[in-house]
Every structure is written in structure tokens, then in C-alpha cells.
């Protein structure tokens, strides 16, 4: 190939030998001719570029929030504090997060593009604490003077649904629906009769008389202490319910008490008693905002969350502690739902503690308790973190027994007035399955090298000596529990024991007893964390949440794996239930108020 030009290695020039200051050259071949781009190719490339620009612009326009938009929230079903960790059913993965709802409401309040709010309320799968927190944010939205409607469009809206709806300026009800405003009901399940039929004996023990978690298995109805505690909780919850509704609906307290005794009500009756403001269908909601805004421009929660900002000059960590407490990693249980693994939560607290950019930690607790050992592992990390930076405890629906254990060392503890907390006590025991085996024609034989080798054996009750040893261990755990509460709350052990004994309290009651510092929601806990970290109240902060949620594509890839492991998970759960419990439990009793 003929060579008539030289190219500089370092400067990339094709030039004469003396034209470049660099003396390193290589000969390059002469180009015989350049391929010219045809007019058709040019048109194609120009068209492709225009198409790409158009698609990008269209996506941006589509994502842009329209002016005079309306935020429409569908609130119903389960409302969770966090996404489940590990394999879980589709329903759990798709549940609404409480902080998504509250963040959207708070952002919309000050967003000039949002002209109003409509909340469609369906049967709620959340406890009173979460409902109370969500309601507080709706009440704050009212201060914006933007129109807001809570719409009850189900067959029968109960106490919790109506309590939430009263946070809106306007409560609308479908003309053919009933309003289930009635007195509250406290209910506990007992399975002792079932166990008797199956010849299963629950050899369970508890400290002390109000520690009624084992009553689910050992009793057929309320004991005197259980009834006393349930009545106290019911009265406290009713006070929150009635006072909140009376204030929001401008009803006389005595009149409301009387009306609740006679509920439920037909739609027309609910309107005449001023429980609701209007009987209307969904299309009439459309019409109101069409007249106001010129057209119906709804924005859903998932769409509006893209407008919610999480930025600020300072960073705070939010560590979620949700579910039954067990040793190991967090996950999902077929029977218990969320499982709070001590290793997972302890690691999250450790990461937040070691991050110098994190100025304070908020431990968000929603747990009925569980393993005493697992609870202490988490509490230890709270204690270590508190030595370096403030740790504020924010309680959700429930933070009792082990849920309170992990909270007691916090710098400050806040709970909703209806949060169920306390339950300072211990439960332990096993199920004797010998009768069931006999009923099924099964038999076992055994050999031992010591009397206590049968301690966890499911074919006999504890012997007298074993029972004495079990109670000794339980007393030791109770002593550690009450001592930890006394140190954390600056109380005497005797004072803690007096309000302990396994008794459950509402957040409002716990505040009076000194078990929590304030009644308040997550927003107040955030403000308290800023105060303790010496961050100006007006300074915006960025929240880093733990555990960190996996990206959507990873969650999608895990769906098939979760479904494939479903049967294996059921088998594992049944095996776990069949085994004798080998951990001392600090767990709350079964108790539902509705």
C-alpha cells in the first residue's frame, strides 16, 4: 500500500516531517476515498434523533404534575410501617406504607399545584395508633384551607373508618350505606377448649397476674386480672375516640355518648345526626371538583410520591423495628407476619451509630414482643447508639413487652395515645402432646441421662423440680426487665414492679405512669430528635430508613423465588409450632379493640 503521509504518534497529526515538534512518526496509508452518507441515511438519522427527543419530552410532560390537580388517596386494608424483609406473600409486598401516606399529605398541604384532597376510606387493617397518626396529618391538612373530603363508600363503615374520616372538613357517605358508629368492643381469643378436645395440655407459666399472653392457651374466658386490664384499655381508647369525634364534628360530648349507644345508623339518620355532611355518589365528588377546577384532575398516591422530597442539610436515621422479635435475621412468618430479627435490627442500629453524618436515630417500634434474648440484643445496640447520639423511640400501634424492652433505653420515648405498650412480664412453657399422640395412635419411647433431659420434651409436663427451675429463670428475666426499665425511666425497681406485672397500658396511660415521655406521632418524634441533636427546628433534614428497601427490579426477581418457597415456608412454620418453645417470651396478650 503506498505511503505518502506521516502521522505523529503523540499528537495524532498527519503532516510533513518538519511541521510537528514531535519527532515520533509513523507512516499511514493514503485514503483511497471516503464513503459519502446518502441523503436517505441522513434523513433516517435526523428522524431517529427527533424521535428520541420527542419520546424524552413526552415522558417529561407525562410525568409533570398538572396544575390545579387533586390528590386522591385510597386508604384501606393493611397499612404497614415498612416493607417485609425476605420472602413474603404478594399482599404483604403491596401493602400501603404509613409514611408514604403522611408524606404525601404533608407535601400536598403546601403544594400550590394541589387544589384539594379526597380520601376514599375502605375497611382498615391498621390499629388505632396508625389511624390516629394518619388522622393527625389530615387535621393538619385542613389548616391549608384547601377543600378536603373523606368519602365512605363501603357497605358498612365502622368505628375506625369513621374516626379517620372525621379528620376531613367534609364527610360524605354513599346514600345506601350504613354508618357503623357504635360503642367499642374488646375481644380476646381463647383456644383452651380446642386444645382439650385434641388432648393437648398447655403447661405454661407467666409473671405476673396481668401477663395474660398465655391465657390464649390456658383459659376459656377472661380471668379477673385480664378483664380488669381489658376494661381499662377499652375506656382509654373510647375516651380518645369520643373526644376526637366530638371535637372534629362539633358535637356535644353527652349527645355523642348517647348517639353511640344507639348506633349503627342508616345513611339518612347519619346525616340528620350530623355524623356526615352529605349523602353522595362518587360521580358527585367528581362534579364538585370539576366545577372548582374546570376538570377532574386526580393524582394517585403512587404518582404523587414522585413529588415528595427527602433532602436537607442534616441527616437522621429511621430504624424500623416491626413484628415478633426473634433471634437471627428479619423475615416473614406465615402465622406471625413480620418477624423482627435481632441480628438485622442490631446491624441497622450499628450502621446508623457508626455513620458520623447521622445526627440522631429514630427507632420506630411496632411490635408485640417475643424472645427476651433477642430483645436484649437489640436494646444493647440502642444503649450503645445512645452513648454517641440521641435515640428517640417512636411507638406505632403496639410496643409492648419485648417491644417495650427494646425501647426502654431510648433518649426519649413517644407513643400515640392509643398505642398499646407496657406489658412488663415473662411467659414460658411447653405443650404436652402425649394425649394427642395417643388419640392418633402414635407412641414414643425414650432414654435419658439426666432428669432435666426431658425439660423441653413434649410428652410430659414439667416435673416439680423442673417447674421450680423454670420459674427461677423467669424471675431472673423479670428482674432484668424491671431493672432496665428503672434505669431507663429514672424510677425505682419497686415503682416499676407496681405498674409492671405484665399489665398493658395505652400510650395516654403510659404517659401518666412515666413509661413514656410524651404522647405524639412520628412528626413529634422527628422534632424531638432534632431538638436533642441541637438542629434548628426550621432546618430540613434528610431521613435514611433502615432496613433499606430493595429496588423494584430486585423485588420483581424475588417474586418467583418467594412463590417457590411458599410451601417450604408453610412446612417450616408447622414444624416450628410443633417443637417445644425453647426461649423465654416477653410477649403481649391477644387483644383487639374495634
Q: What is the pLDDT of residue 584?
A: 78
Determine contact, residues 407/363, Cβ cutoff 8 Å.
yes
Please state, in angstroms and rounded to a whole number, the distance separating the CA atoms of residues 492 and 386: 21
Backbone angle region of 7, left / alpha / beta, with phi > 0 → left and psi within -120 to 50 → alpha = beta
The whole-angstrom separation of Cα 513 and Cα 527 is 23
Q: Helices then strands (H, E): number in the chain?
A: 22, 31
Q: What pLDDT, on a 0 to 100 scale, did the predictor assign at position 540?
A: 95
What is the per-residue pLDDT for 188? 94
Backbone angles phi, psi at 202, to 5 degrees: -85, 100
Nearest-10 crossing angle of helices 98-110, 128-142:
10
β-pair type (96-97, 541-546):
unpaired
CA–CA separation, 130 and 123 (whole Å)? 14
Q: How far out from the chain centre does Cα 449 lie?
A: 47
- Give catalytic residue positions: 211, 401
pLDDT attached to residue 306: 95
User: Do you find a cis peptide bond into 208, omega within 30 degrees of 0?
Assistant: yes
Q: Is the peptide bond before 264 cis (omega within 30 degrees of 0)?
A: yes
Q: Which domains does the chain have, with CATH numbers?
A: 1-31 (no CATH), 310-553+576-593 (3.90.226.10)
In the DSSP assignment, the letter for residue 124 is E
Which among 161, 501, 563 has a CA at the least distance from the CA of 332? 563
CA nearest 88: which of 370, 318, 322, 301? 322
Tell me the C-alpha distance between 546 and 554, whole Å.
Answer: 17
Predicted confidence at residue 111, as pLDDT, reads 97
pLDDT for the residue 551: 64
What pLDDT was estimated at residue 559?
Answer: 54
Intra-chain end-to-end CA distance of the chain, in Å: 92
> pLDDT tens, 454-510?
999 999 999 999 999 999 999 999 999 999 999 999 999 999 999 999 999 999 999
pLDDT at 87: 56
C-beta neighbour count of 534 within 10 angstroms? 9
* pLDDT attached to residue 554: 59
For residue 549, the model assigns a pLDDT of 77
Asked if 447 contacts 473 with a C-beta cutoff of 8 angstroms, the reply is no
Query: In Å, how far from its chain's centre is CA 458?
Result: 36
Alpha helices by DSSP H, 149-249: 159-165, 192-197, 215-218, 224-249
Give me the DSSP letters along 256-288: HHHHHHH--EEHHHHHHTTS-SEE--HHHHHHH
pLDDT in tens, the chain (594 residues): 444 444 444 444 444 444 444 444 444 445 555 556 677 766 777 777 767 765 554 444 445 798 899 999 999 999 999 998 865 555 455 789 999 999 999 999 999 999 999 999 999 999 999 999 999 999 999 999 999 999 999 999 999 999 999 999 999 999 999 999 999 999 999 999 999 999 999 999 999 999 999 999 999 999 999 999 999 999 999 999 999 999 999 999 999 999 999 999 999 999 999 999 999 999 999 999 999 888 999 999 999 999 999 999 999 999 999 999 999 999 988 878 899 999 999 999 999 999 999 999 999 999 999 999 999 999 999 999 999 999 999 999 999 999 999 999 999 999 999 999 999 999 999 999 999 999 999 999 999 999 999 999 999 999 999 999 999 999 999 999 999 999 999 999 999 999 999 999 999 999 999 999 999 999 999 999 999 999 999 999 999 999 987 665 555 555 545 554 444 455 555 555 554 456 778 788 777 777
Q: What pLDDT was estimated at residue 593?
A: 77
Q: What is the reported pLDDT for 55?
A: 57
Amino acid at each position: 500500500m503506498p505511503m505518502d503521509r506521516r502521522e505523529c504518534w503523540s499528537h495524532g497529526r498527519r503532516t510533513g516531517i518538519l511541521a510537528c515538534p514531535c519527532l515520533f512518526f509513523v507512516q499511514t496509508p493514503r485514503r483511497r476515498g471516503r464513503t459519502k452518507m446518502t441523503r436517505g441515511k441522513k434523513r433516517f438519522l435526523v428522524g431517529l434523533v427527533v424521535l428520541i427527543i420527542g419520546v424524552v419530552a413526552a415522558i417529561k410532560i407525562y410525568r409533570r404534575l398538572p396544575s390545579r390537580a387533586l390528590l386522591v388517596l385510597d386508604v384501606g386494608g393493611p397499612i404497614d410501617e415498612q416493607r417485609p424483609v425476605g420472602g413474603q406473600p404478594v399482599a404483604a409486598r403491596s401493602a400501603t406504607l404509613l409514611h408514604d401516606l403522611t408524606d404525601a399529605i404533608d407535601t400536598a398541604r403546601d403544594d400550590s399545584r394541589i387544589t384539594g384532597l379526597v380520601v376514599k376510606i375502605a375497611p382498615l387493617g391498621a390499629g388505632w395508633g396508625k389511624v390516629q397518626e394518619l388522622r393527625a396529618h389530615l387535621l393538619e391538612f385542613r389548616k391549608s384551607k384547601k377543600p378536603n373530603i373523606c368519602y365512605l363508600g363501603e357497605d358498612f363503615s365502622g368505628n375506625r373508618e369513621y374516626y379517620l374520616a372525621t379528620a376531613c372538613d367534609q364527610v360524605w357517605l354513599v346514600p345506601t350505606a350504613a354508618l357503623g358508629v357504635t360503642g367499642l368492643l374488646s375481644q380476646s381469643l381463647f383456644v383452651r377448649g380446642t386444645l382439650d378436645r385434641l388432648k393437648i395440655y398447655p403447661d405454661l407459666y407467666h409473671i405476673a397476674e396481668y401477663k395474660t399472653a398465655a391465657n390464649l392457651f390456658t383459659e376459656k374466658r377472661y380471668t379477673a386480672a385480664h378483664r380488669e386490664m381489658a376494661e381499662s384499655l377499652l375506656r382509654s381508647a373510647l375516651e380518645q375516640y369520643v373526644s376526637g369525634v366530638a371535637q372534629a364534628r362539633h358535637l356535644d360530648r353527652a349527645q355523642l355518648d348517647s348517639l353511640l349507644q344507639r348506633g349503627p345508623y342508616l345513611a339518612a339518620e347519619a346525616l340528620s345526626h350530623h355524623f356526615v355532611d352529605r349523602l353522595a355518589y362518587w360521580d358527585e365528588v367528581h362534579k364538585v371538583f370539576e366545577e372548582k377546577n374546570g376538570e377532574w384532575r386526580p393524582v394517585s398516591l403512587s404518582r404523587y410520591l414522585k413529588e415528595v422530597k427527602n433532602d436537607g442539610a442534616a441527616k437522621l436515621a429511621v430504624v424500623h423495628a416491626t413484628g415478633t422479635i426473634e433471634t437471627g435475621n428479619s423475615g416473614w412468618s406465615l402465622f406471625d407476619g413480620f418477624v423482627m430479627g435481632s441480628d438485622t435490627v442490631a446491624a441497622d442500629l450499628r450502621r446508623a451509630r457508626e455513620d458520623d453524618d447521622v445526627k440522631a436515630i429514630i427507632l420506630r417500634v411496632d411490635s408485640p414482643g417475643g424472645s427476651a434474648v433477642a430483645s436484649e440484643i437489640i436494646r444493647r445496640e440502642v444503649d450503645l447508639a445512645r452513648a454517641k447520639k440521641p435515640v428517640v423511640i417512636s411507638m406505632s400501634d403496639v410496643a409492648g413487652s419485648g417491644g417495650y424492652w427494646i425501647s426502654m433505653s431510648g433518649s426519649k420515648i413517644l407513643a400515640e395515645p392509643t398505642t398499646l405498650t407496657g406489658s412488663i412480664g415473662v411467659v414460658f412453657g411447653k405443650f404436652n402432646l402425649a394425649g394427642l399422640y395417643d388419640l392418633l395412635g402414635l407412641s414414643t419411647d425414650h432414654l435419658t441421662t439426666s432428669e432435666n433431659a426431658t425439660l423441653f420434651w413434649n410428652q410430659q409436663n414439667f416435673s416439680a423440680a423442673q417447674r421450680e427451675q423454670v420459674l427461677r429463670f423467669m424471675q431472673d428475666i423479670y428482674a432484668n426487665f424491671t431493672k432496665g426499665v428503672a434505669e431507663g425511666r429514672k424510677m425505682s425497681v419497686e415503682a416499676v414492679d407496681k405498674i409492671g406485672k405484665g399489665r398493658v397500658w395505652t400510650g395516654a396511660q403510659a404517659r401518666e405512669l412515666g413509661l413514656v415521655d410524651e404522647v405524639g406521632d412520628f412528626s413529634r418524634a422527628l422534632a424531638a430528635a432534632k431538638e436533642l441533636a441541637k438542629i434548628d427546628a426550621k432546618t430540613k433534614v434528610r431521613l435514611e430508613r433502615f432496613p433499606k428497601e430493595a429496588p423494584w427490579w430486585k423485588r420483581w426477581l424475588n417474586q418467583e423465588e418467594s412463590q417457590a418457597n411458599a410451601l417450604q415456608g408453610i412446612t417450616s412454620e408447622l414444624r416450628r409450632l410443633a417443637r417445644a418453645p425453647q426461649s423465654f417470651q416477653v410477649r403481649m396478650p391477644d387483644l383487639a379493640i374495634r
